[in-house]
Amino acid sequence: EPGHRKHTCGGLGGTVVSVNSGHIWGTRYRNMGNLLKVLTCTDLEQEPNFFLDFENAQPTDAEREVWEQVDVVLKDAKGILDELQAYKGAGQEIREAIQNPNDEALQEQAWAAVVPLVGKLKKFYEFSQRLEAALHSLLRALTSETYDDPTQHLEREQALAKQFAEILHFTLRFDELKMTNPAIQNDFSYYRRTLSRMRINNVPAEGENEVNNELANRISLFYADATPMLKTLSDGTTKFVSENKNLPIENTTDCLSTMASVCKVMLETEYRSRFTSEETVSFCLRVMVGVIILYDYVHPVGAFAKSSKIDMKGCIKVLKDQPPNSVEGLLNALRYTTKHLNDESTNKTIKSMLQ
């Protein structure tokens, strides 16, 4: 319950000590009732333990303004993923045009195939910019001084926490699809090469008004990254921290680590049975991984260091307890898209758990 929040791991007999308004309660697990719903103790002195309702959270009046701004962006997220999933590329047309450089008809066919695809790539890139702006609005709300700590923020602003989770979920899904689609970069670089050839030869290009040179450079950089949406989010979060000098960086990183802990606790305790669908379980797993990666980029020493506020061993264990084929992609995201996993300071047990 609110107020019954801070707890430290008790020594013998599974006693949990909860400090609330100056009273100290020593209670055995069996009769804890609602005082503390924690089932596990980790070496982190504080695990937030409340149910974050990823399925039904509705905005309160205080959240509504930010929630509505972000909702406009999130409404388009599914369409973006559907378009990306259906993206086939113009590989065939491009190959034929390159192999037959003097065949004008084939050059025109390839160009006609690539121009609408570049329109899509531009749209995905522009969506990443909208997503970053939405992230800033959410971070501003979730790290403000309205509540004492990030646990209270996430517990009392559940609709915003859910939107933050949806952004992370979208990000990981987008990057998974992008990573397995080499056509994206091939199409775009063919477009740029052809465009510069047309400019040299003073040929007017109808696709040109869509993407000027400066925008083409930014789009190119965006897709050159293995995980472009994640990079957008981590750069956006770092930028948020540096633009808000009066806000301690901990407000932001603690919000991220608390989110990771909430997901972990919900997945490993009786809370899990409150999800009405298995989809919510995989949503929760993906959000936990997304927020760990974000924390690893934004926090000065990252998620794997001893001083990290994320129980990495616990989070990896939760992943490994799932059916193996369902989480391999998420384990790979931790292996290959984090920043600090291979640092000297990373605990050897964590490294071997991810091998």
* pLDDT 10s digits, 317-335: 888 888 878 888 888 888 8
At residue 51, the pLDDT reads 65
Lowest average pLDDT, out of 146-150, 247-251, 295-299, goes to 146-150
**pLDDT tens sequence across 258-280:** 888 888 888 887 777 777 778 88
| List of long-range contacts for 339-343, beta carbons under 8 Å, 24+ apart | 339/296, 339/297, 339/302, 340/296, 340/301, 340/302, 340/303, 340/304, 340/305, 341/296, 341/304, 343/302, 343/304, 343/305
pLDDT band at 60 (very low <50, low <70, confident <90, very high): confident
At residue 33, the pLDDT reads 30
pLDDT band at 79 (very low <50, low <70, confident <90, very high): very high
Lowest average pLDDT, out of 125-129, 206-210, 304-308, goes to 206-210
pLDDT band at 207 (very low <50, low <70, confident <90, very high): low
At residue 20, the pLDDT reads 32
Residue with more model confidence, 25 or 305: 305
∠ CA 257-260-264 to the nearest 5 degrees?
A: 140
Average pLDDT over the chain reads 78
* DSSP annotation of 307: T
Q: Are 162 and 52 in contact (CB under 8 A)?
A: yes
Distance CA 354, CA 189 (A): 35
At residue 39, the pLDDT reads 33
340 three-class SS: coil
At residue 143, the pLDDT reads 79
Q: Which of 129-133, 143-147, 325-329 has the highest mean pLDDT?
A: 129-133
At residue 23, the pLDDT reads 32
Token digits for 211?
Answer: 């993407």
Lowest average pLDDT, out of 4-8, 58-62, 93-97, 294-298, goes to 4-8
Q: Which of 138-142, 180-184, 263-267, 309-313 has the highest mean pLDDT?
A: 180-184
What are the φ and ψ backbone dihedral angles of 18, each rounded to 5 degrees?
A: -115, 130
CA 33 to chain centre: 34
At residue 301, the pLDDT reads 85
Lowest average pLDDT, out of 13-27, 93-107, 273-287, 293-307, goes to 13-27
C-alpha dist (Å) from residue 184 to 69, 93, 197, 324: 30, 14, 20, 29
Across the strands, what pairs with 24?
19
Residue with more model confidence, 159 or 80: 80
pLDDT band at 155 (very low <50, low <70, confident <90, very high): low
At residue 36, the pLDDT reads 32
At residue 210, the pLDDT reads 67
